[in-house]
Structure 1
Amino acid sequence: MNKTIIIVDDHRLFAQSLQILVNSFEGFQVIHAFKNGKELVNYFQEGNVSPDLILLDMRMPVMDGMATMSWLKENHPKQKVLTLTVDQEDETIIKMLRLGARGYLLKDIDPEEFEHALNSIDRTGYYSNKTISDALSRDERKEKYEELTDRELEFLGHACSELTYKAIANEMHLSPKTIENYRESLFNKLQVKSRVGLVIFAIKEGICEV
């Protein structure tokens, strides 16, 4: 039996083309196409059967993808959703995944990878790709950056210079032991093992320039 799919996208031409593409894949069939999240909500509230998968756009009038995903998490938490959009902002990707999206694809995806994503979600419940892994990696680094204290950031800036640890202690008017504590704290928070690792992190995050 074919896996049922609902498309939620306000671009009618794209939605129609997407429906033709999905229906050409073995084992999948589009049963409805809605223009926004509100139409999808109405579908559920009328007591209709949940599809196997929802293909959800982000930017839509009336009720956008984020609001739709929030509603689904609250009312149909087990519903599988694959985000299919042009929005590639890290914050958007992370929020959608945290709301329960099973995957995140950009609309310029190759048909072969798109079919692979559908099959992956069908078999395993999830689909991951470089867009997702890169966003998660950057989000993890951002969280680490936000954990740093002002003094640790100051020390990190000095660590990018040619100053010795003793000279950094003098510059910051702290004892060498306190500087050592800052260094070990940063090693732990940033999961690096050397001053070189600290410098690489600082350069990537734009904390210092060399």
Structure 2
Amino acid sequence: MRTYSVVIVDDHSLFAQSLQGLINSFDDFQVLYHVKNGKELVQKLESNSNAPDVILLDINMPVMNGIETMEWLKEHRPDQKVIVLSMDDDEETIIRMLRNGARGYLLKDIDPDVFKDALNDSIHKGFYYTDRISKTLLGSLHKEEKGGVKLKERELEFLKLACTEKTYKEIAGDMFLSPKTIDGYREALFEKLQVRSRIGLVLYAIKNEIFKP
């Protein structure tokens, strides 16, 4: 049985040590090393050609935070599997991390069994998203686009813009529509795609390759 390598990026040493003990107790996972911020991670990756199978990345860190680290990874290591492990459940932060290529987003109070499932899914399926983070992970998340929901051209345009950092008001300006009309597009897609949040829209777009991080 293959053992998959994990790197922990977190400035809280006690938490990281406990997490390392948990991961090393799993039969098929082993922690390579722990670093305290993104800068230390970059130095390790640039000096070592053996990339880990999974990086567990915190967001709030000194020197180089999780968002900056994720942006570096997107540019320099786009195929690297990254799961965000944070206390931050802000919707804009979650969307930004997913858009930059994170394969999963977990809160630190996650159950150990669910955490193990997340590691396995990130390896074997390529992604893992919890219901708590997505508010209601699409029933369509695990479906293929073909034969599924058909979106109109303007709906696709709105969906792609929803994956950016633009506000709904700014999206309305880009599409030359009123904010009220944009609200209508949003609500229509919520119903059509069976999601309840902007995070759900982003996940749907990523899963179905409408938007590529």
In which range does the TM-score fall when normalised by the shorter chain?
0.5 to 0.7
Residues 152, 186 of structure 1: 8 Å contact kept? yes
Report what 2:208 is aligned to: none
Alignment of 1:36-115 (within 5 A): 36-115=37-116
Report what 1:12 is aligned to: 13
Structure 1 pair 151–39 and aligned structure 2 pair: CA distance change class (3 A): closer
Return the structure number with greater relative CO, CA threshold 8 A, min gap 6. Answer: 2
TM-superposed CA distance for 1:135, in Å, is 8.7
Report what 1:25 is aligned to: 26
Structure 1 pair 136–98 and aligned structure 2 pair: CA distance change class (3 A): farther
Structure 1 pair 136–46 and aligned structure 2 pair: CA distance change class (3 A): same
Report what 2:185 is aligned to: 189
Larger Rg over CA atoms: 1
Runs of 4+ in 1 over 4 A off after TM superposition: 139-153, 185-188
Query: What secondary structure sits across from 1:54 in the alignment?
Result: strand
The gaps in structure 2 that reach 5 residues or longer are 139-160, 189-195, 197-213
Report what 1:133 is aligned to: 134
TM-superposed CA distance for 1:131, in Å, is 3.6
Q: TM-score, normalised by structure 2?
A: 0.67
Query: What secondary structure sits across from 1:49 in the alignment?
Result: coil
TM-superposed CA distance for 1:26, in Å, is 2.0
Q: TM-score, normalised by structure 1?
A: 0.68
For 1:25 and 1:109, the matched residues in 2 are separated by 16
Higher helix share: 1
For 1:190 and 1:16, the matched residues in 2 are separated by 43
Residues 7, 56 of structure 1: 8 Å contact kept? yes
Structure 1 pair 71–136 and aligned structure 2 pair: CA distance change class (3 A): farther
Residues 94, 136 of structure 1: 8 Å contact kept? no
For 1:89 and 1:187, the matched residues in 2 are separated by 21
The gaps in structure 1 that reach 5 residues or longer are 157-184, 193-200, 202-210
Query: What secondary structure sits across from 1:104 in the alignment?
Result: strand
Query: What secondary structure sits across from 2:135 in the alignment?
Result: helix
Q: Residue type of the partner of 1:51? A: P
Query: What secondary structure sits across from 2:128 in the alignment?
Result: coil
Residues 104, 131 of structure 1: 8 Å contact kept? no
For 1:16 and 1:120, the matched residues in 2 are separated by 23
TM-superposed CA distance for 1:48, in Å, is 3.4
